[in-house]
Structure 1
Amino acid sequence: MKKLILLAVIAVVLSATQTFAQTGTTGVGLGLDFGDGSTLVGPTLKHRFNSKDALQADLLFGADAVWLGGYYQYHQSFPRTNSLQWYLGVGPQFAFADNNRGTFVFLRPMVGLDYTIPSAPISLSFDWRPMWQLNKDSEFEPARFGLGFRYNF
């Protein structure tokens, strides 16, 4: 069942990549989520609807779980540069755990920096993204960070 869910999620991400590529700037690459606890690694997708609004989707693996997250982000450029932006965001994240532990639901606010290399279609991002678990034990983990490496098209 978990493999079927994973395949469905991958199909949706690939379909969204083709649709988004026709309407704006989309980046696909590698995402890392690290800090206290396990390091999570997997594909990430970020689509910019305009210079300020973006959606990001992460499919991460680690801690004996598959993590699926989707975030809205508000971007703003620093003065005198378009290649370096700061952003604020928020969205849900779900962890589908192994060993009959069930599904965990998180709220993930974030604040970060996004840098696009002017001479190449590559963007790099770094953010602080604490985790607030909404079900089961309702825990808060402030020491979590994210890195993104994306190819833009």
Structure 2
Amino acid sequence: MKKIISLFIIASTTLTTLQAQQSSNDYITAVGVKFFPGALTVKHFLNDNNAIEGLGYFWQYGSRITGLYEHHTSFNAVDGLKWYVGAGAHIGFWNDKWKNNYPSRNSGVAIGIDGVLGLDYKLKTAPLNFSIDWQPSFNFIGYNYFEGGWGGLAVRYTF
């Protein structure tokens, strides 16, 4: 009988937590995917306005790991919508296909800095978050150049 009561208490606590999470516009941590060129993403809020985000990109030319620090500000007119700006760094590893398409860029490694500007929206009725952003970057190691085509749409499950 004690096991049944304990199980009931654990299940009730879990359901209450999930319901509270689904009816909130805020979240602490979110995990998901980002489209273009394709990444796994984890975002974690350090406080109400500041978050860190880690991205692992994988595509036909190689892979790239990016870390970002983001400052979020709410839009008062729309519940759950925030805009954010931030900065970070990346390291990328390019494969032979990339090297063959760009023979003047002989290095297979790129290290640089990133900026980010975007919108972040948390659904009130479900533990889902959507964001869209632009993430320009500049490589200092490897072939030195500006990349303005990073960014995309992220879909995440919130905790």
- Whether the TM-score (by the shorter chain) exceeds 0.5 is yes
Structure 2 residue matching 1:143: 3-state secondary structure: coil
Establish whether residue 132 from structure 1 lines up as the match of residue 135 from structure 2: no
Within 2, Cα distance between the matches of 1:143 and 1:44?
Answer: 18
Of residues 24-33 and 53-62 in structure 1, the stretch that sits farther from structure 2 once superposed is: 24-33
Contact 1:46 1:56 in 2 (8 A): yes
Compute the displacement of 1:142 (Å).
2.2
Q: Identical aligned pairs, as a percentage?
A: 31
Residue type of the alignment partner of 1:83: G
- 1:15 aligns to what? none
Within 2, Cα distance between the matches of 1:142 and 1:80?
Answer: 30
Establish whether residue 25 from structure 1 lines up as the match of residue 22 from structure 2: no
- 2:151 aligns to what? 145
Compute the displacement of 1:82 (Å).
3.8
Structure 1 residue matching 2:38: 3-state secondary structure: strand
Computed over aligned residues only, the root mean square deviation of the Cα atoms, in angstroms, reads 1.7
Alignment of 1:1-153 (within 5 A): 25-33=28-36, 40-99=37-96, 101-153=107-159
Contact 1:132 1:140 in 2 (8 A): yes
Within 2, Cα distance between the matches of 1:144 and 1:95?
Answer: 13
| Structure 2 unmatched runs, 5+ | 1-26, 100-106
Within 2, Cα distance between the matches of 1:67 and 1:120?
Answer: 30
Structure 1 consecutive aligned stretches of length 4 or more whose deviation exceeds 3 Å = none
Within 2, Cα distance between the matches of 1:107 and 1:32?
Answer: 20
1:115-146 deviation per Cα after TM superposition (whole angstroms, max 9, x unaligned) = 10111110000011112111233111223332
Contact 2:108 2:142 in 1 (8 A): no
Compute the displacement of 1:62 (Å).
1.2
Q: Relative contact order (C-alpha < 8 Å, sep 6+): which is higher?
A: 2
Structure 2 residue matching 1:120: 3-state secondary structure: coil
TM-score norm. by structure 1 comes to: 0.74
How many pairs were matched up? Answer: 124
Of residues 138-147 and 123-132 in structure 1, the stretch that sits farther from structure 2 once superposed is: 138-147
| Structure 1 unmatched runs, 5+ | 1-23, 34-39
Q: Greater strand percent: which structure? A: 1
TM-score norm. by structure 2 comes to: 0.72
Contact 1:31 1:44 in 2 (8 A): yes
Within 2, Cα distance between the matches of 1:112 and 1:141?
Answer: 17
Q: Say which one has the larger Rg.
A: 2
